Structure 1
Amino acid sequence: MRSLSARRSLGALALAAGALLASAAPASAHVTVQSNSAQQGGYTAVAFRVPNESDTASTVKVEVNLPLDHPMASVRTQPVPGWTAVMEKSKLDKPLDSHGQQITEAVSKITWTANDGTKIGPGQYQDFSVSLGALPTDTEQLTFKALQTYDNGDVVRWIEEAKDGQAEPSKPAPVLKLTKAAGASAAAADHHSTDSTGTEQAAAADAKTSDSTARTLGVVGIVVGVVGAALGVAGLRRRSARS
């Protein structure tokens, strides 16, 4: 009996240890896009961070697709030692106006390919910097679908888009959040301030009108009172004279 109880205790401990190790395992890293400041209508430098998730293979190519539903006229890559960057352009369904010029095509994909002897090895990551602009003003985020190719032929497709109310997908596409332009915020604040000032002025005008009306009524009351008193005195004098 003791032997059976001991075995059960050891089995329970083994299961608990396995669960603890599983919960302590690091989550898979994702390809992400990062920026210190990305305002609508502005220009920014972003970094596509590519971690190597494999323990046995290395990353040798990265492809990033730019959203053509929100094209950008200016796209420039920063040189990365050991990597060759190639940009591809696509025709736009609707021309893009940029500083008075009509842009009919825009960069739709950037591909970084590792030169001989270069790679992102196990336990490593690499940042690929890009200058973008002008950022769109009619959306709060940009989605960049990416493909990561390993030297063993495996391709990881970071193309899944997150949906509200659902769990994060296993291979999410990099998303860049855009903030409201400072000018728009200032205009909104100025509009609010103007509304508040107008309201205060209207309230002050109403108060002044009410005060003037009250004073007028007060004066009329006094005049009526004086006239009444004068009539009363005159009546008394007439009575006194008759008597």
Structure 2
Amino acid sequence: MKASRLAAAGTLAGTAVLALSAPAFAHVSVQPEGEAAKGGYAVVDFKVPNERDNASTTKLEVTFPTDHPLASVMPQPVPGWKAEVTKSTLKKPLELHGRKITEAVSKVTWTADGKGVEPGFFQKFPLSVGTLPEDTDQLVFKAVQTYSNKEVVRWIEVPQEGQEEPENPAPVLQLSAAEEGGHHGSASADKGSGDAEAASAKTSAAEPADSSDTTARVLGVVGIVVGALGVAYGVLAGRRRTTA
């Protein structure tokens, strides 16, 4: 009886923990595919989970920061969704590859052509973005999620360092340190150098592997011989005891 009560109590406690922790993960978020280095380009995914069990997510609007505008934003096609990119005129033009950029993307809207994100599922919306700013460690995006029952959830509260996460936090993209040499170097040269380094690393990695394989084989043969000698010795010892 005590064991069953303890098991039941443990189950209830586990359920409570999951129920309390679930909302912290069930919000619109943004993560890079790999790294989002300052001064470079990156592919980022906006992850949209469905928090409702009686409605589907049919629309997502992501507003881009105006204090760190991004001149290049390209959505990757997502089956069942239509993407619309909205641009706005900049108060202060940007310098990009020697050209003056007078407008930047201010919003990207995805609208479902079919059922959208149904209950129990999530959807990723990839974007290629750049160039990423070099004077900040993060970019804050504000997202609006619309459901098929016309409910609207605004993920627009900016998380503050040292404080608890807000109820409807805005997606935050953390930026990593700028890559050495930046993004202005020759792509072909970088590729050639990378290929050479990879080949060198592959060769150096292969040498110890070959050596260790040979050693392993020798040890394996020695082990078999020793094992065979041990068995033979055991048989002879047994015969001697029987004769005695």
TM range (shorter): 0.5 to 0.7
User: Matches of 1:131 and 1:16 in 2, distance apart?
Assistant: 46
CA contact (8 A) 2:157 2:166 kept: yes
1:160 aligns with 2:160: no
- 1:235 match: none
Aligned length: 174
Identity rate, percent: 56
- Partner amino acid, structure 2, of 1:174: P
- 1:135 match: 132
Question: How many angstroms does 1:20 deviate by?
Answer: 5.2
- 1:196 match: none
In the alignment, which of 3, 22, 25 is matched to residue 27 of structure 1? 22
- 2:64 match: 66
Deviation per residue, 1:108-162 (Å, 9 max, x gap): 00000001x3310011000001000110000000011100000001111111111
* TM-score (norm. length: structure 2): 0.66
- 2:100 match: 102
Report the RMSD for the aligned CA atoms in angstroms: 2.2
| Partner SS, residue 142 of structure 1 | strand
- 1:123 match: 120
Question: How many angstroms does 1:85 deviate by?
Answer: 0.4
Rg (Cα) greater in structure: 1
- How do 1:184-203 and structure 2 match up within 5 A? none
* TM-score (norm. length: structure 1): 0.67
In the alignment, which of 70, 77, 83 is matched to residue 75 of structure 2? 77
| Partner SS, residue 22 of structure 1 | helix
| Partner SS, residue 180 of structure 2 | helix
- 1:37 match: 35
- 1:92 match: 90
Note closer, same or farther for the CA distance 1:24–1:100 as it changes in structure 2 (3 Å cut). Answer: closer
Question: How many angstroms does 1:79 deviate by?
Answer: 0.5
Deviation per residue, 1:181-224 (Å, 9 max, x gap): 13279xxxxxxxxxxxxxxxxxxxxxxxxxxxxxxxxxxxxxxx
User: Matches of 1:114 and 1:23 in 2, distance apart?
Assistant: 34
User: Matches of 1:51 and 1:111 in 2, distance apart?
Assistant: 16
CA contact (8 A) 1:83 1:118 kept: no
Q: Any gaps of 5 or more consecutive residues in structure 2? A: 183-244
Note closer, same or farther for the CA distance 1:34–1:20 as it changes in structure 2 (3 Å cut). Answer: closer
User: Matches of 2:140 and 2:158 in 1, distance apart?
Assistant: 8
Q: Any gaps of 5 or more consecutive residues in structure 1? A: 1-9, 186-243
- Structure 1 residue ranges (4+ consecutive) displaced by more than 6 angstroms after TM superposition: 14-17
| Partner SS, residue 92 of structure 1 | strand
CA contact (8 A) 1:94 1:104 kept: yes
- 1:208 match: none
Question: How many angstroms does 1:24 deviate by?
Answer: 3.2
